[in-house]
Amino acid sequence: CGLRPLYADGGKGSVAQSLSQIEVAPIPGQAGWLVRNAVSDRMAAGGSGEKRYRLEIELDDQLTGFGVRRDNAVTRERRTLRARYRLVDGATVVLDATAGSDAGIDVVSSEYATIAAEQTALENLAQQIADQIVTRLALYAKRTQAEQ
Amino acid sequence: QGAVSALKGHNSNAPVDVEADRIEVQDRADRAIFSGNVNVRQADLTMNSARLTVAYSGGTSGTQIQRLDASGGVTVRSPSETARGSVAIYDLDRRLITMLGNVTLTQGANTVNGGRLVIDLDSGRSTIDGKGVGGASGGRVTGRFTVRPSGN
Amino acid sequence: QDLQDRPQGPPPAGGAPVPDNDEEITFSATSLEYDQDAEIVTATGDVRMLRAGNRLRADKVVWNRKTGEVTAEGDVAVVNPAGDTAYGENVRLTDTLKDGVIENMLLVLDDGGRLAADRATRVNGVSTLEHAAYTPCNVTDSSNCPKTPSWQITAVRVVHDPVRRRISYNNARLNLFGLPLLWLPGLSHPDGSEGGGSGLLMPDVQYSRTNGFELALPYYIQLAPNRDLTLTPHVYSKVLPAMEAEYRELTSLGAYKVGGFLTYGTRQPATLLPGTTPAESSRDIRGYFEANGRFQFTPEWSLSASTRVTTDKTFLRRYDISRDDRLRSTFNVERIDADSYLSIAGWAVQGLRTEDRGGMQPIALPAIDYRLRLDDPLLGGKVQLQANSLGIIRTDGQDTQRAFTAARWDLRRYTSFGQELALTAYARGDVYHTDEVLATLTPTYRGDEGWTARGIAALAADMRWPFVGEFMGGTQRITPRLQLVATPRTKNLSVPNEDARAVDLEDSNLFALNRFAGYDRWEDSSRATYGLEWAVDLPRFSLSSIIGQSYRLDSRPSILPEGTGLSGRYSDIVGRTTIKYGSFVQFTHRFRLDKDNLAIRRNEIDATVGSSKTYVTAAYLRLNRDVDRTIEDLRDREELRLGARVQFANYWSVFGSTVIDLTGNQEDPLALADGYQPVRHRLGFLYDDECIELGVTWRRDYDDTGDAKRGNTFLLRVALKNLGR
């Protein structure tokens, strides 16, 4: 089935180079700060060329409770972080896709421990969302390279 | 601007004097043709145009103008309003002024334009409609009236 | 009065030259007669008149310039600048084209509402209609044949006042689907032209076994375009009435909302066993207060704060305000710019669960976190410096203060083989102070009394090697991943544990540097973590599956409790599979298998099948972790949630949902449940078209702690949409 490395020729490869031409637009809030830095760090792995593309990311962060006991007490929470992102070349949107993941959190008797676990879940989810976005951009770069 | 229009009660029998660059009289046809900056005045009504044909009836009691046909960009002015058109026919017997072709009637700030204008000097009523030759507004009459300041 | 559209429709915008100023009327017609003496202008033949934004169309118009009266006959239509179109047979207007009398009138408001009347007079823009009818609903169905509007209000007289932007009726009657239903003596509502003014909102009707019939009648007061207040009296058949208020304001810096609910009734302790009469129930004021706001002072600085407090534990459940079992109050001052993040926050929680004791709940004040990112000039990596401090106060329990500074260095490179390589170095110094340690039940959370310091260091290398290839017309991606972490021992148990209590290995934290939550515990075991990701992307189908495990290189016993999946040298196997088929099927499965016998330790399945209008959704959770009993926090559970919605006959839909607690004693020997215990069901019908929402919902709750009784609740929902709101 012809498997080839996505980042062939490493940092000098065409995929890594085109990733380094992407600039990530600021995203509001703490989740935005975390995701923006995670995505920028991954794309700077191939050096940082002059910026030709612009990546706009919108985040949606949800916290839902379930595992409900008879007395309606919630015993388990799930934090879902979803991103909708657009790669913009000049004025045209060349890629419009979504990424998302979730993390489970146990509701423990100390309420602050649950809040801290929700914060850690957000930090881990930010890394996962960044992985999904950068991989999808790399696939797009590889496909457009192949077409040219 | 509220003055009642001066057209009503205009005396069609008043003397008509005409000035023009050239005049050609066709006696047998009881007709005279003026051309070049024609200016006709009768009492306080004036009409100027490029060409004017005057039809009159000869007879024992001297010449009696029956009809004036002006063409080539006609402007009829009275103290209260001005009418413009490409052709104008002033029938003195029936006391009717008819103008055709891209007619505009302005009275103070009010203007009306259409294909054909008929001014009835007896009743003082002027009717404009889209018929007439090659009416510019395609058979429609358009106009602009200002509401009197006391307009409620 | 006929609400149907008139044949000739609204006058087209063109047709007459545009007037230069408001004092000028322009018109066009087939012919025009201008009687100089009587100053009467008569226009005939598809006459269009235009004045200061008002457009009129008629077969014949006679305008008496002396008296200023305009009479128009034959399919007359007048449009005012706001876009409302009035049709009529013959109309007498003033030459402002605004005021006058219209027979057999139909007024189509700009927002789609319609007013029809046998006779309408309009003076200075105020229209008064005799024998009128108003409806915001469509009067023609999708294939454009006339239909009776879902609801309309008929009245002897209706007054539409565009200045006060209100429509008021007297002797009005609301009829629904053609049958007269409700007599409304003095109804009035905003005409919807400008965001709506004050007025009654739609009442909520509900029957529940605990409170009997409930009628809530919200009154909305618009104090200013950016401030409003909603007062909602609630009247019950079995308990005293209650008052609810909500004030909202939009300021130049942000927005805030303050709300409350107040009543007088019997408070009952939440720990009451079902069926027994309350020993010491006290009749007292019961209430709930909430406020939240968010302000952006500068592009960097912002403040968000929210507080929720109630007088007693069962109040919110009893009056069906909310089902939350913990009310959080928090504030957060943030400064965010491209390379630094600062948060100064505080947390306090009111626990409403039966076993919550107020004094034991921690208050976090302050919780400060500052992060600064710098470029590493030497090797080209990224350095993040972090300073953090936390103060935990318990009114009668252990108090803890913590402060630490940390530095983290990251370097990401691609190798020539196409591997993503990430090197990480981490160093941190903590200082703790704690007292009243014995007040904490779980010994491993206590730490040593007084001051304790601790150092943490770690080195990590993380390698991912993504391969891409064709697969059945789409692409597939296989990504093996290996992470090596080296970290020396660190004093975990000698410092208190306030924020690292919720520990569970799953795919989101498998490759994290510290698989504990929070900062108080550091996983001080050098390890190798390996995983594989396989993803397939076909035109309408996508699948992605991750599986991973970690192996502890050193043989030191781990402080991670048995059951968290991290206690043995081999960790449990964790993974996640997500399958999407277009937007029709969405399936997510998260699992943790026991490393020895592959028994399911954690199983979470979420599946949704169907379109946005008709779908079935199911969620299953099974936690079978057998965590050691002394750690009372990580209980085991099993739960099934089902939900469905079916949309039929383009306005009708039926929906239902159920939550069943399947926890039995093989999951949790201490559990009260017996393996099948429904928590709540909900079933409802809804008729929802463009101007009315009619719904009936039956809900059955099985929660019978405190004064919440097990029983049914029936909600009737009637919402007249775009009633000028």
Per-residue pLDDT of C222-281, as tens digits, reads: 888 889 999 999 999 888 899 999 999 999 999 999 999 998 877 766 555 555 555 556
Neighbouring C-beta atoms of residue C649, cutoff 10 Å = 7
Query: What mean pLDDT is reported for chain C?
Result: 84
Q: Which residue of A has its CA nearest to C410?
A: A41
Q: pLDDT grade, residue B137 (50/70/90)?
A: very low
Looking at the complex, does the CB of residue C661 fall below 8 Å from at least one CB of chain A? yes
Q: For the packed helices A111-147 and A29-43, what is the interaxial angle rounded to 10 degrees? A: 40
Structure tokens at C26: 């322009």
Instruction: Say if the Cβ atoms of C623 and A76 lie within 8 Å.
Output: yes
Q: pLDDT grade, residue C14 (50/70/90)?
A: low
Structure tokens at C80: 């005012």
* Residue-level pLDDT at C395: 85
Q: Which residue has the higher pLDDT, C702 or C658?
A: C658
CA distance A1 to chain C (A): 6
For C358, the 3-state DSSP assignment is helix
Four-point Cα dihedral C619, C622, C623, C625, nearest 10: -150
Distance CA C657, CA C642 (A): 5
Instruction: Say if the Cβ atoms of C353 and A110 lie within 8 Å.
Output: no
Instruction: Say if the Cβ atoms of B148 and C65 lie within 8 Å.
Output: yes
Neighbours of A, requiring at least 3 CB pairs below 8 Å, are C
Instruction: Say if the Cβ atoms of C517 and A121 lie within 8 Å.
Output: yes
pTM above 0.95, yes or no: no
DSSP string, C619-634: EEEEE-----TTSTTS
From chain C residues 423-462, the ones with a CB under 8 A of any chain A CB are none
The winner for highest mean pLDDT among B10-24, C67-81, C430-444 is C430-444
For C151, the 3-state DSSP assignment is strand
For residue C88, is pLDDT > 90? Answer: no
Q: Which of B144, B148, B150 to probe the C interface (max C CBs under 10 A)? A: B144
Instruction: Say if the Cβ atoms of C317 and A74 lie within 8 Å.
Output: no
Instruction: Say if the Cβ atoms of C68 and B137 lie within 8 Å.
Output: no
Kindly list the residues from chain C whose CB atom is less than 8 angstroms away from the CB atom of residue B105.
Answer: 34
Q: Do chains B and C touch (3 or more CB pairs under 8 A)?
A: yes
From chain C residues 351-370, the ones with a CB under 8 A of any chain A CB are 351, 353-356, 360-362, 364
Q: pLDDT grade, residue C76 (50/70/90)?
A: confident
Neighbouring C-beta atoms of residue C179, cutoff 10 Å = 6
Phi, psi of B127, rounded to the nearest 5 degrees: -120, 130
Neighbouring C-beta atoms of residue A17, cutoff 10 Å = 16
Q: Which of C639, C623, C621 is nearest to C675 (CA)?
A: C639
In this prediction, residues C302-313 reach a mean pLDDT of 92
Bridge partners (DSSP) listed for residue C242: C234
Spell out the SS3 assignment of chain A. CCCEECCCCHHHCHHHHHHCCEEECCCCHHHHHHHHHHHHHHHHHHCCCCCCEEEEEEEEEEEEEEEECCCCCEEEEEEEEEEEEEEEECCEEEEEEEEEEEEEEECCCCHHHHHHHHHHHHHHHHHHHHHHHHHHHHHHHHHHHHHC
Q: Which residue has the higher pLDDT, C692 or C723?
A: C692
Neighbours of B, requiring at least 3 CB pairs below 8 Å, are C
In this prediction, residues C404-417 reach a mean pLDDT of 93
C713: part of which helix (H) or strand (E)? strand C711-720
Instruction: Say if the Cβ atoms of C703 and A16 lie within 8 Å.
Output: no
Kindly list the residues from chain C whose CB atom is less than 8 angstroms away from the CB atom of residue A105.
Answer: 502, 517
For C668, the 3-state DSSP assignment is coil
DSSP state of C317: H
Write the residue in B4, B142, B152 that is nearest to C68 by C-beta: B152
Distance CA A91, CA A103 (A): 36
- Percent of chain C surpassing pLDDT 70: 90
Q: Of the given ranges (C104-118, C245-259, C408-422), which has the lowest mean pLDDT?
A: C104-118
**Contact present, C591 and C572 (Cβ < 8 Å):** no
Q: Strands A22-24, A53-68: parallel, antiparallel or unpaired by DSSP?
A: parallel
For C315, the 3-state DSSP assignment is helix
* Residue-level pLDDT at C273: 53
**Contact present, C442 and A110 (Cβ < 8 Å):** no
* Residue-level pLDDT at C575: 94
For residue C417, is pLDDT > 70? Answer: yes
**Contact present, C466 and A5 (Cβ < 8 Å):** yes
Instruction: Say if the Cβ atoms of B145 and C32 lie within 8 Å.
Output: no
Instruction: Say if the Cβ atoms of C347 and A30 lie within 8 Å.
Output: no
Looking at the complex, does the CB of residue B148 fall below 8 Å from at least one CB of chain C? yes
Distance CA C445, CA C501 (A): 8
Instruction: Say if the Cβ atoms of C28 and B141 lie within 8 Å.
Output: yes
Instruction: Say if the Cβ atoms of B124 and C68 lie within 8 Å.
Output: no
Distance CA C331, CA C392 (A): 15
Contacts of residues A92-97 at CB distance under 8 Å and 24 or more positions apart, as own/partner, are A94/A53, A94/A140, A95/A136, A95/A137, A95/A140, A97/A136
- For the stretch C175-232, pLDDT in tens is 787 787 777 777 777 766 655 567 777 778 888 877 888 888 888 888 888 899 999 9
Spell out the SS3 assignment of C68-116. CEEEEEEEEEEECCCCCEEEEEEEEEECCCCCEEEEEEEEECCCCCEEE
One-letter identity of residue C178: G
DSSP state of C203: -
Q: Which of C336, C247, C334 is nearest to C292 (CA)?
A: C247
Instruction: Say if the Cβ atoms of C33 and B148 lie within 8 Å.
Output: no
The winner for highest mean pLDDT among A67-76, C465-474, C664-673 is C465-474
Structure tokens at A117: 């676990």
Q: Of the given ranges (C452-466, C504-518, C595-609, C620-634), which has the lowest mean pLDDT?
A: C620-634
Instruction: Say if the Cβ atoms of A109 and C633 lie within 8 Å.
Output: yes
For residue B3, is pLDDT > 50? Answer: no
Kindly list the residues from chain A whose CB atom is less than 8 angstroms away from the CB atom of residue C673.
Answer: 69-70
* Residue-level pLDDT at C438: 84
CA distance C705 to chain A (A): 6
Write the residue in B8, B112, B144 that is nearest to C37 by C-beta: B8
Distance CA C284, CA C265 (A): 6
Distance CA C232, CA C247 (A): 12
Distance CA B52, CA B33 (A): 6
* Residue-level pLDDT at C51: 80
Rg over alpha carbons for chain B, rounded to the nearest Å, is 16
* Residue-level pLDDT at C99: 75
Q: Where are the alpha helices (DSSP H) in C172-252?
A: none
For C708, the 3-state DSSP assignment is coil
* Residue-level pLDDT at C10: 62
pLDDT of chain A, 148 residues: tens digit per residue:
588 999 988 888 888 999 999 999 999 999 999 999 999 999 988 777 788 899 999 999 999 988 887 777 888 899 999 999 999 998 899 999 999 999 999 888 888 999 999 999 999 999 999 999 999 999 999 888 877 6
Four-point Cα dihedral C274, C276, C279, C281, nearest 10: 50
Looking at the complex, does the CB of residue C28 fall below 8 Å from at least one CB of chain B? yes
Q: Of the given ranges (B65-69, C23-27, C287-291, C622-626), which has the lowest mean pLDDT?
A: C23-27
DSSP string, C431-489: EEEEE-GGG-SSGGGT--SEEEEEEEEEEEEEEE--EEEEETTEEEEEEEEEEEEE---
ipTM surpassing 0.85, yes or no?
no
For residue B136, is pLDDT > 50? Answer: no
Neighbouring C-beta atoms of residue B57, cutoff 10 Å = 13
DSSP state of B28: G
Neighbouring C-beta atoms of residue C278, cutoff 10 Å = 13
For C415, the 3-state DSSP assignment is coil
Q: pLDDT grade, residue B73 (50/70/90)?
A: confident
CA distance C180 to chain B (A): 42
Neighbouring C-beta atoms of residue A36, cutoff 10 Å = 21
CA distance C251 to chain B (A): 43
* Residue-level pLDDT at C685: 92
As to burial, measured by CB atoms within 10 angstroms (0-12 exposed, 13-18 middle, 19+ buried), residue A113 is buried
Q: pLDDT grade, residue B150 (50/70/90)?
A: very low
**Contact present, C453 and C430 (Cβ < 8 Å):** yes
Cα–Cα distance list, A54 to A17, A29, B13, C111, C474 (Å) = 15, 19, 87, 40, 27
Kindly list the residues from chain A whose CB atom is less than 8 angstroms away from the CB atom of residue C328.
Answer: 111, 115
Write the residue in C25, C35, C37 that is nearest to B145 by C-beta: C25
